Structure 1
Amino acid sequence: MLHPEPLIAVVDDESPVRIMLGRLLRLADYRVGEYASGEDFLASLEGRQLPLCAIVDLHMPGLSGFELQSRMRAAKLDVPVVFITASDDPGLDRSALALGGKGLLRKPFSSDELFEAIAGAVGRRGDEGEDAT
């Protein structure tokens, strides 16, 4: 069965965050896969369609968001990642981009910020190293 709506993955260990983001994305006509851990998300990718984009929390038990991104890159899984975090650490922006992330949103963020980050991540897919100005 074909699915006309693009798939967005939400990877966050906090159930209320997954539920809220899932509802918001579904209202925007995305299909959503919700995962409580990086390990669950990686397991879901075996033999399945890759999501258009993944929204990934940085701080989770087990695989952190950065570790998940590193594993996806090592496995050559081309899924643009937008990281989310509640941390105010200014160094995270640089680290997220250095690891191939397409953006970093700090909680709480607006729906406009989320959709802009997704559009930027998908629009820059394969544009590594190019300035998006």
Structure 2
Amino acid sequence: MGTNKPFVVVVDDDASVGRAIRRLLRSVGIAADTYTSGDEFLDVLSATPSYRPDCVILDVQMPGSNGIEVQRRLAGGAVPVIFITAHDDAGVRETALAAGARAYLRKPFNDVLFIRTVCAVLGIAAPL
């Protein structure tokens, strides 16, 4: 993005969750974009080669390309992935982590834990 500010993408089919996470990230100086579908995010990513987030936060269950499918499509790009989900499933969690996800958080999550997790994945100091 040409700035020193970390840039994160949030992909969650619940727009209110995406907005809340974006506000939380921005409150600690992390830039964020939101998408309500994996397909929408993947379309933007493929159409804009310069669009490269430092981290992607994915909901597991979404219509169209779910979080696991988006993670598979990102695998070659070395973009760190954090999963968030309201439907914790041990098999899905194992699949996501085995495929390289850096974290897997169950909704609702604690804001401080969430920010610390994102900062750890980005390699920056957590402000909280």
Q: Which range, TM-score by smaller chain?
A: 0.7 to 0.9
Q: Any residues of structure 2 matched to 1:8-87 within 5 Å, and which?
A: 8-45=8-45, 46-73=48-75, 76-87=76-87
Gaps of 5+ in 1: 124-133
Question: Partners in 2 of 1:68 and 1:88 — Cα distance?
Answer: 18
Gaps of 5+ in 2: 124-128
Question: Partners in 2 of 1:67 and 1:2 — Cα distance?
Answer: 29
Question: Partners in 1 of 2:49 and 2:93 — Cα distance?
Answer: 32
Aligned identity (percent) is 40
1:82, CA displacement in angstroms?
0.2
Give the root-mean-square deviation of aligned CA atoms.
1.6
1:101 is matched with: 101
Q: Whose helix proportion is higher, 1 or 2?
A: 2
Between the two proteins, the alignment pairs up a number of residues equal to 121
Is the deviation greater in 94-103 or in 84-93? 84-93
Cα shift readout 1:19-62 (whole Å, capped 9, x = no counterpart):
10010011011111111111111122231241111110000000
1:90 is matched with: 90
Question: Partners in 1 of 2:24 and 2:120 — Cα distance?
Answer: 18
Q: TM-score, normalised by structure 2?
A: 0.86
Task: Check conservation: 2:6, 2:122, Cα contact below 8 A.
Answer: no
Is the deviation greater in 89-98 or in 53-62? 89-98
